[in-house]
Chain A
Amino acid sequence: MRNLLILGAGTAGTMMANKLRKELSTEDWNITIVDQYKTHYYQPGFLFIPFGIYKKEDVVKPKSDFFPIGVNVIYSKIDKIVPEENKVLLDEGQVLKYDYLIIATGTKTSPEEVEGLKGSQWNKSVFDFYTIEGSVALAEFFKSWKGGKLVVNVAELPYKCPVAPLEFVFLADAFFTERGMRDKVDITLATPLPGAFTKPKATKLLGGLLEEKNIKIIPDYNISSLDNEQKTIVDYGGTVIPFDCLVTVPTNKGDDMLERSGMGDDLNFVPTDKNTLKAENYDNIFVLGDASNIPTSKAGSVAHFASEILTENILCSIEGRPMTASFDGHANCYIVTGHGKGTLIDFNYTTEPLPGNFPMPGIGPFGLLKITRMNYYGKMLFRWIYWHVLLKGKEMPISANMTMVGKKL
Chain B
Amino acid sequence: MAQKQFSGVTVDVNDEGYFTNSSQWTIDIAKAIAIEEGIQLSDKHIDVLSFIRKSVAGGAALTIRSMGKSGIVDVKEFYGLFPGAPLKKATKIAGVPKPTSCI
Contacts and interface: CB of A to CB of B under 8 A. Distances in A.
A312 B89 CA distance: 42
B75 A295 contact: no
Interface residues of B, number: 18
B69 A266 contact: yes
Interface string A190-229: 0011100110000000000000000000001010100000
A295 B102 contact: yes
Contact of B75 (A192, A194, A224, A267): A224
A296 interface: yes
B103 A297 contact: yes
Contact of B101 (A157, A237, A266): A157
Contact of B103 (A197, A266, A267): A197
A384 interface: no
Interface in A324-364: none
Nearest to A162: B103
A157 B75 contact: no
Nearest to B84: A237
A224 B69 CA distance: 15
A297 B79 CA distance: 27
B56 interface: no
Contacts of A296: 102
B101 A193 contact: yes
B32 to A, nearest CB: 24
B103 A198 contact: yes
A220 B82 CA distance: 13
Nearest to B79: A236
B63 interface: yes
Given A193-B101, A198-B101, A237-B79, A220 B69 contact: no
Contacts of A297: 102-103
A158 B69 CA distance: 17
Contacts of B83: 237
A156 interface: yes
A236 B66 contact: no
Interface residues of B, dominant DSSP: loop
B100 interface: yes
B65 A156 contact: yes
A295 B100 contact: yes
Q: Which of A156, A197, A236 counts the most B-chain CB atoms under 10 A from its CB?
A: A236
B65 A158 contact: no
A162 B103 CA distance: 6
Given A157-B63, A220-B84, A267-B65, A192 B79 contact: no
A220 B85 contact: yes
Contacts of A220: 84-85
Contacts of B69: 266
B76 A158 contact: no
Contacts of A157: 63, 101-103
A266 B79 CA distance: 20
A295 B59 CA distance: 13
Contact of A192 (B66, B78, B84, B101): B101
Contacts of A267: 65
B96 to A, nearest CB: 17
Contacts of A193: 101, 103
Contacts of B85: 220
B69 to A, nearest CB: 6
Contacts of A236: 64, 75-76, 78-79, 86
Top-9 shortest CB links A-B: A162-B103, A295-B102, A236-B79, A220-B85, A157-B101, A198-B103, A198-B101, A236-B75, A222-B64
23 contacts: A156-B64, A156-B65, A157-B63, A157-B101, A157-B102, A157-B103, A158-B101, A158-B103, A162-B103, A192-B64, A198-B100, A198-B101, A198-B103, A224-B75, A236-B64, A236-B75, A236-B78, A237-B83, A266-B66, A267-B65, A296-B102, A297-B102, A297-B103
